């Protein structure tokens, strides 16, 4: 009974926040491609970020990749606030990151091989944090690793130039999509007291990529109510998923 109540309250809150966002944001109108001197401009889809947000419990043992990667603070059941990060390139130039294994690639040094994922990630690309209403960090947070590629089309005109984990990038008018079921698409909020908080996501956090005029924000925030840690939430026992 308690479990149902806690869950419904969270869902209701998300719906309210989600509707508010939906009324204000329409990605195709809010993030049109603009003249950015042939440079990319990365931003996060605010609608998807808010609408997919949820709190679940998930079990991690000592061999979990998440322990090695630091996306959870310990073993056992952890409470996760998870969400979708859709990285849109709204600039009129492609983000070209290139091959992680080519020593002549200017971005060669930003790639880190992930043994758990068996591919290369861009280090320091994003920062996921839970803040209190005074903007102080209240949970572990972590830097989510990414392999950047074209997954979603956000513009009617542009064809994908075919970026993948092996030759990374995002075409102008396209987006990469990290959905909430993927490993690390969360903030570990285990033990965080009940209350209202800010979910803070920053992309291109290390400033690795030039974004020209950078008209579109690299930081996205939304408020969330975290239930009492003693209240049950949905337990996610599905198999671990990593980005491909
Ligand atoms: Zn990966």
pLDDT band at 21 (very low <50, low <70, confident <90, very high): very low
The helix (H) or strand (E) run that includes residue 189 is: none
- pLDDT tens across 129-182, in order? 999 999 999 998 888 878 899 999 988 778 999 999 899 999 999 999 999 999
pTM score, two decimals?
A: 0.85
Q: In 34-166, which ranges are E strands? A: 42-44, 54-60, 76-82, 85-89, 95-98, 111-114, 119-122, 126-131, 152-153
Q: What was the pLDDT predicted at 114?
A: 87
Cβ neighbours of residue 163 closer than 8 Å, sequence gap 6 or more: 94, 96, 97, 148, 149, 150, 169, 170, 171
Q: Kindly report the CA angle at 165 between 82 and 44, in degrees rounded to 5?
A: 40
Centre of ligand 1 from the C-alpha of residue 16, in Å:
32
Centre of ligand 1 from the C-alpha of residue 183, in Å:
8
Centre of ligand 1 from the C-alpha of residue 143, in Å:
13
pLDDT band at 23 (very low <50, low <70, confident <90, very high): very low
For the stretch 191-219, what's the b/e string if a residue is b when 16 or more beta carbons lie within 10 angstroms of its beta carbon? ebeeeebbbbbbbbbeeebebbebebebe
Centre of ligand 1 from the C-alpha of residue 29, in Å:
30
Centre of ligand 1 from the C-alpha of residue 122, in Å:
9
Protein residues placing their CB within 5 Å of the ion ligand 1: 117, 243
Q: Are 193 and 138 in contact (CB under 8 A)?
A: no
Centre of ligand 1 from the C-alpha of residue 182, in Å:
9
What is the greatest pairwise CA distance in the chain? 59
Centre of ligand 1 from the C-alpha of residue 82, in Å:
17
Centre of ligand 1 from the C-alpha of residue 33, in Å:
27
Centre of ligand 1 from the C-alpha of residue 145, in Å:
7
Q: What was the pLDDT predicted at 144?
A: 81
Centre of ligand 1 from the C-alpha of residue 219, in Å:
22
Q: What was the pLDDT predicted at 132?
A: 97
Centre of ligand 1 from the C-alpha of residue 221, in Å:
24
pLDDT at 12 over 50: no
Q: Are 6 and 231 in contact (CB under 8 A)?
A: yes
Centre of ligand 1 from the C-alpha of residue 178, in Å:
10
pLDDT band at 100 (very low <50, low <70, confident <90, very high): very high
pLDDT at 235 over 70: yes
Centre of ligand 1 from the C-alpha of residue 179, in Å:
12
Q: What was the pLDDT predicted at 227?
A: 97
Q: Kindly report the CA angle at 81 between 73 and 135, in degrees rounded to 5?
A: 85
Rg (CA), the chain: 18
Centre of ligand 1 from the C-alpha of residue 220, in Å:
22
The helix (H) or strand (E) run that includes residue 27 is: helix 27-30
Scanning 155-236, the segments in alpha helix (DSSP H) are: none
C-alpha closest to that of 199 among 184, 216, 187, 217: 187
Centre of ligand 1 from the C-alpha of residue 116, in Å:
8
pLDDT at 210 over 50: yes
Centre of ligand 1 from the C-alpha of residue 194, in Å:
32
């Amino acid at each position: 009974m308690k479990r149902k109540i806690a869950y419904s309250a969270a869902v209701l809150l998300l719906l309210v926040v989600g509707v508010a966002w939906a009324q204000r944001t329409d990605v195709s109108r809010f993030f049109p491609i603009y003249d950015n001197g042939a440079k990319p401009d990365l931003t996060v889809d605010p609608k998807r970020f808010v609408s997919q947000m949820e709190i679940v419990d998930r079990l991690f043992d000592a061999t979990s990749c998440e322990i090695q990667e630091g996306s959870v603070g310990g073993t056992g059941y952890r409470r996760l606030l998870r969400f979708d990060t859709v990285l849109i390139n709204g600039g009129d130039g492609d983000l070209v990151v290139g091959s992680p294994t080519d020593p002549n690639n200017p971005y060669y040094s930003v790639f880190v091989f992930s043994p758990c994922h068996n591919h290369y990630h861009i280090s320091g690309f994003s920062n996921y944090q839970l803040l209190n209403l005074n903007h102080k960090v209240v949970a572990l947070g972590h830097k989510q690793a990414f392999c950047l590629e074209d997954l979603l089309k956000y513009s009617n005109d542009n064809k994908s130039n075919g970026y993948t984990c092996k030759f990374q990038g995002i075409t102008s008018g396209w987006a990469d999509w990290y959905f909430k079921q993927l490993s690390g698409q969360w903030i570990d909020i285990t033990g965080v007291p009940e209350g209202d908080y800010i979910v803070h996501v920053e992309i291109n956090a290390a400033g690795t990529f030039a974004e020209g005029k950078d008209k579109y924000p690299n930081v996205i925030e939304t408020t969330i109510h975290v239930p009492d840690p003693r209240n049950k939430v949905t337990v996610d026992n599905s198999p671990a998923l990593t980005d491909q």
